[in-house]
Amino acid sequence: MSFVYPGSSWPTRSWPDRAWPLAGVVAPPTLLPDVGWVNGLYTLILVANPRGVVIGELAADIDSVSWRLNEDGQARLIVGNPGTAGELMEFGSRLLMYFDNGLPTWSGYLDPPRRWAYGSVELTAYGGERLLTQRVTTRTRRFSAVTPGAIFAALLAEQAGPAVVEVGQIYIGGEAVSAEFHLEELLKVVQDKLLTYGGDFDVTGALEGGRIRLRANYYDQRGRARPNVRLMEGHNIAAVEPEEQGPIINEWLTTGAGNGWEAWSRPYATARDEASVTRYGLRQSPEVMSGVTDAATLAARTALNLSASATPYVATGLDALNLPPARFGDYDIGDEVTVEMYSMLDGFIGMRRRVLGREFRPRDGVCGTVVA
């Protein structure tokens, strides 16, 4: 267990006498009384070998640690006196990081790059989602009339052993689709194909029986609505930077699966937003949805595309503070929270936004958060 302090070290005799009277003479103990006066946190970093067997605790300063929706997060750790921690820094070692400030447990593994400096080493760790890049599908693996979650569960079960992740919580509802894979990375299969039908995924870690167990999960939608969680500029938002993104598409022309391009050979659909056309001009885009065979499903997915692209997409990056009514532990990736922003874009007062990413920076005492 280690203590992370903004600025990386304690100023000489900075501890108040009532908390630690020997400040500046000897190192503070691992657990300290009454440290609420400082903006820091305690962390516990467990390390396991690639088989998941825990082999020790890593004493490291956290430079940053991140979580992202449907992507792998990343952590940067700085280890002083690395000569005593060689076994704990092996590439492929599994990590489980606990925080006492409400942030969710972070799980992943160590991999390059690793930078050495005089008296220290900087480690890079990636979220467990990235482990799916290390496994591929078989050649000519076909699925017919199966839901995306069921495909995901089957591919996980078929991965080459030993498995890098286990099958976790899998949502097997939704529309049935057809798909075919040929020696493709599992991560690309999920991100580029399965998620296009809707849903979210992640890899979570837990300590069970002395082992770090990593499990892949597939959700109908990750997260929950958090009506009482409010991020407010000037209170628990230290800085905010909204960005309007594209592309703007206000007319979609789509087609489903079929043989040939005659009107009767496959379903077709069109969706158009007249208000967007008037404001931005006509902007068309085509898409072939090869897994869709009926007209109703094609029309619904085409309308979904239009609703997401008819106007500029606003992604807001902000630095969140650990203050109510939005403490770090009150919300997570995928949750919908209320954002009150007054200084730009006419304000987002009371607007609901979904949390897409978080990056905790202990030295700054803030959690960089992306909402949209």
pLDDT tens digit sequence for 50-100: 999 999 999 999 999 999 999 999 999 999 888 778 899 999 999 999 999
Residues 236 and 341 both lie in one domain: yes
Pinpoint the alpha helices (H) of 270-339: 274-280, 295-309
Pick the last residue of a domain from 263, 289, 309: 309
Residues 97 and 213 both lie in one domain: no
Q: Given a cut of 50, is residue 227 above it in pLDDT?
A: yes
3-class SS at 214?
Answer: strand
pLDDT of residue 251: 97
CB-neighbour burial class of residue 350 (10 A; exposed 0-12, middle 13-18, buried 19+): exposed
CA distance 97 to 110: 12
pLDDT of residue 15: 38
Residues 13 and 111 both lie in one domain: yes
Encoding tokens for residue 70? 């449907």
Q: What single letter denotes the amino acid at residue 195?
A: L
Q: What is the pLDDT of residues 160-184, one digit of tens each?
A: 999 999 999 999 998 888 888 999 9
CA distance 345 to 291: 39
Total number of domains constituting the chain: 4
Residues 194 and 165 both lie in one domain: yes
Pick the last residue of a domain from 129, 158, 182: 129
Residues 334 and 303 both lie in one domain: no
Q: Given a cut of 80, is residue 24 above it in pLDDT?
A: no
Q: In 3D, which of 43, 51, 54 has the Cα closest to residue 4?
A: 43
Spatial CB neighbours of 168, under 8 Å, sequence gap ≥ 6: 203, 204, 215, 216, 217
Q: In 3D, which of 168, 174, 169, 167 has the Cα closest to residue 146?
A: 174
Residues 145 and 279 both lie in one domain: no
Mean pLDDT of the chain: 87
3-class SS at 134?
Answer: helix
pLDDT of residue 40: 53
Residues 235 and 161 both lie in one domain: no
Residues 66 and 190 both lie in one domain: no
Kindly calculate the radius of gyration of the chain based on its CA atoms and give it in whole angstroms: 24
Residues 240 and 331 both lie in one domain: yes
Q: Categorize the per-residue pLDDT at 4 as very low, low, confident or very high, splitting at 50, 70 and 90.
A: very low
Pick the last residue of a domain from 202, 219, 236: 219
Q: In 3D, which of 125, 143, 127, 108 has the Cα closest to residue 70?
A: 127
Residues 230 and 119 both lie in one domain: no
- Residue 121: CATH number of its domain: 2.30.110
Q: Categorize the per-residue pLDDT at 7 as very low, low, confident or very high, splitting at 50, 70 and 90.
A: very low
Residues 349 and 237 both lie in one domain: yes
pLDDT of residue 241: 87
Q: Given a cut of 80, is residue 197 above it in pLDDT?
A: yes
Q: In 3D, which of 52, 65, 61 has the Cα closest to residue 1?
A: 61
CA distance 64 to 111: 16
Residues 83 and 142 both lie in one domain: no
pLDDT of residue 165: 98
Residue range(s) defining the domain that contains residue 167 = 132-219
Q: pTM for the complete prediction?
A: 0.80
Q: What is the pLDDT of residues 273-329, one digit of tens each?
A: 999 999 999 999 999 987 677 888 889 889 989 998 999 988 889 999 999 999 999
pLDDT of residue 300: 85
pLDDT of residue 109: 98
